[in-house]
Amino acid sequence: MAHCFIGRYDLTLDDKCRMRLPAKLRSAIGTGYVIIYGEGCLTVLPKEDFSVLNEKFSAIPFSDVAARRVVSLIMSSAVEPEEDAQGRFVLPLHARNHAGIAKNVVVAGAGPVIEIWSEEAYTLSRADSGSFEDKLGKLSAYGI
């Protein structure tokens, strides 16, 4: 099943470093999800998509040490959140540190995945120079 996550949601971690996925995203993600490190953010994958990724990782030979180290980084940092009755989960310290999250969070739908950003990093990532047309041009290599 192809997922399409859209929208931006501004949240704040509570005093126990808990957050919840916005209801629209949570209902669309299905039976569960996994959080992994992303580029400057955290990436949320539906559990079934994470399983597909894991199958691809299994095909990497142990003789490819560099690739196996990347797999180890991804898998050891992965979090399968345990939600409380209100749908909140603790965002672990290592994940917060990776994404530079202190308090304010932006949850962004990014097509097949959801991204969790610190508010500051999200703003900086969108502030790069260039017109919207120039940015769209980067998709042309993919026939878009």
Q: Is residue 3 part of a domain?
A: no
* pTM metric for this prediction: 0.90
What average pLDDT does the segment 24-33 reach? 90
Encode pLDDT of 60-86 as tens digits. 999 999 999 999 999 999 999 999 999
The residue segments making up the domain with residue 93 are: 8-142
DSSP labels, the chain: ----B--EEEEE--TTSEE---HHHHHHH-S-EEEEE-SSSEEEEEHHHHHHHHHHHHTS-TT-HHHHHHHHHHHHH-B-----TTS-EE--HHHHHHHT-SSEEEEEEEBTEEEEEEHHHHHHHH--SS-HHHHHHTTGGGT-
Domain CATH number, residue 100: 3.40.1550.20
Q: How confident is the model at residue 141 (pLDDT cuts 50, 70, 90)?
A: confident
What average pLDDT does the segment 83-90 reach? 94
Q: Tally the domains of the chain.
A: 1
Q: Is residue 1 part of a domain?
A: no
Q: Is residue 2 part of a domain?
A: no
Q: Is residue 57 part of a domain?
A: yes
Q: Is residue 90 part of a domain?
A: yes
